[in-house]
Amino acid sequence: MERKPDSALALSRQIVHDYPESAKAYYALGKATLMKSGLPAAIPIYEKLLDLPSSESDVKESAMFDLSACYYGVGDYGKARAKMAESVRLSKGKKNEPHVKQRARILGFDSLYTSWTVRETAHFVFHFQEGVNNIDGFIARKEKAFDVINSFFQAKPLKKIDYFVWSDETEASKMLNRPLAFTEPDVALTHTSAIHTVGHEMTHSICRFAVAPTRVHKLIWEGVCVYFDQSRRSSIQTLKKLGFNSLIAGVWKNEIRAGTDIIYPLGGELVRRLIDKYGRDKFMLLLADQSYDSAVKIYGNDLAVVLSEIEHDLKN
């Protein structure tokens, strides 16, 4: 929970060594491996857990739940669906049953998608709800945006991006228990509608596979998606209309609270200037560790200059 994967991995390995028949020990090792090394590395550990004769029902259910995401994230949909179905079965009648079922729905393992149209392209598996218009045009815009965005990041996702496109946002919010649009980058999965920007959500998945961030800050994580969303909106004008006049460093260091209405355009403007002035290589280092302290190490005194320039432009 403290995001210290090396320590977690060392501790969990020791626990497995001391208690080699413990399902809980293997579950801890699976979680730590997932955090440290990603989805493919965690799969054999969770599978080993399921082979243990002492696997308790609750631990087994949690392992099935995690395994479903692991297999989904590497593009093995058959195994992902099977593990999720088993997790749903094991959770029946328990407190977490609604959560497990909701997760299955987010991954697309639900009868509600039976009537949806599926189209696979070079970089996406699109899932279209009935009522989405001009599917061919939508696909063409997404593929073009992917090529433009990934020409910068040069990411190599483990699988194609699953893109669920809803025609009814109200139904989507009800069925998924969260508003559109959102992306789960670790498994390259997006739920959205046709009215959202072309590039924002896919940039989350592309960034995740361009560099695995050790620390994430919303200012950078959302800002990079605003910069690459292909909308060409003016973040400065948006921030002026909102009346933002606080110190950017304060927002970045979490000393000043700011809502998403501020974070998104502010991050977009900050990312734009850092990339335009100092290039890709330094920005990729920042993407890996998005904290303010990391930015100071990467950009030195230039960071203060950029922040000052943005703050000046917002006042004039």
pLDDT of residue 135: 97
Q: Taking Cα atoms as reference points, which of 55, 50, 24 lies closest to residue 12?
A: 24
User: Hey, is 196 helix, strand or coil?
Assistant: coil
> Could you tell me the CA-to-CA distances from 142 to 117, 139, 308 in Å, in that order?
16, 5, 35
Structure tokens at 117: 């149209």
pTM: 0.93
> Could you tell me what percentage of the chain is helix, strand and coil, using 3-state DSSP and rounding each to the nearest 5?
65, 10, 30
pLDDT digits (tens, 9 = 90+) for 209-256: 999 898 999 999 999 999 999 998 889 999 999 999 999 999 999 999
What average pLDDT does range 257-268 have in this prediction?
96
pLDDT of residue 271: 97
pLDDT of residue 283: 98
Within the chain, what is the greatest distance between any pair of CA atoms? Answer: 69
Q: Is the pLDDT of residue 138 over 90?
A: yes
CA distance 164 to 162: 6
pLDDT of residue 274: 98
pLDDT of residue 159: 96
Measured in degrees and rounded to the nearest 5, phi and psi for residue 47 equal -65, -35
pLDDT bucket at 9, cuts 50 / 70 / 90: very high
What average pLDDT does range 59-67 have in this prediction?
93
Cα first-last separation, the chain:
43
CATH fold of 5-109, please? 1.25.40
Q: Which residues contact 16 (CB under 8 A, 6 or more apart)?
A: 22, 25, 26, 28, 29
pLDDT of residue 1: 79
β-bridge partners, 234: none
pLDDT digits (tens, 9 = 90+) for 79-137: 999 999 999 999 999 999 999 999 999 999 999 999 999 999 999 999 999 999 999 99
User: Hey, is 144 helix, strand or coil?
Assistant: helix
User: Hey, is 289 helix, strand or coil?
Assistant: strand
Where along the chain do its domains lie?
5-109, 113-203, 218-315
Least confident among 17-21, 25-29, 56-60, 297-301:
56-60
Q: Taking Cα atoms as reference points, which of 37, 3, 10, 1 lies closest to residue 291?
A: 3
Q: Is the pLDDT of residue 57 over 90?
A: no
Distance of CA 199 to the CA centre of its chain: 14
Mean pLDDT in the chain? 95
pLDDT of residue 214: 86
Q: Is the pLDDT of residue 64 over 90?
A: yes
pLDDT of residue 53: 84
pLDDT digits (tens, 9 = 90+) for 302-311: 999 999 999 9
pLDDT bucket at 3, cuts 50 / 70 / 90: confident
Count the residues in the chain: 316
What share of the chain in percent tops pLDDT 70?
A: 100
* Identity of the amino acid at 127: H
Query: What top-level class would CATH report for the domain 113-203?
Result: alpha beta
Q: List helix spans (H) across 38-76.
A: 39-51, 57-73
Supply the DSSP symbol for 178.
S
Distance of CA 297 to the CA centre of its chain: 26
β-bridge partners, 289: 215
| Residue ranges with strand state E in 153-193 | 161-166, 182-184, 189-193
